[in-house]
Amino acid sequence: MTRMLEGKIALVSGGRARIGRATCERLRREGATVLAGNLIEDGSFSPRNASSGTFVSLDVTSEEEVRAAMLLTAR
């Protein structure tokens, strides 16, 4: 891996499911800080597994939740 995403932040919606989860894992291997957004935590990255990324409760149909998730990326 090239770690070409070192210092970058990625917010992945659907981070619990197959493609989203694989995307999160790949982004982490490339050095990104990953926020895995999903409606439910089960099966997703979670605070219990902080080395893999951080779970963010996210309903992409809610503008308020999307804005809140984006604010997390600004920290």
Assess contact for 51 and 25: CB atoms under 8 A.
Answer: no
CA distances from 70 to 16, 18, 50, 52 (A): 18, 23, 19, 19
Identify the bridge partners of residue 35 per DSSP, sorted by sequence position: 11, 54
Give pLDDT tens digits for 15-46: 878 898 899 989 999 999 999 998 887 655 54
C-alpha to C-alpha distance for 74 and 1, rounded to whole angstroms: 26
Instruction: Output the DSSP codes for 18-50.
Output: HHHHHHHHHHHHTT-EEEEEES--TTS--GGGT
At 10 the pLDDT is 92
Q: Please report the pLDDT score of residue 48 as a whole number.
A: 47
What pLDDT is stored for residue 27 in this prediction? 93
Domain segments of the chain as ranges: 9-73
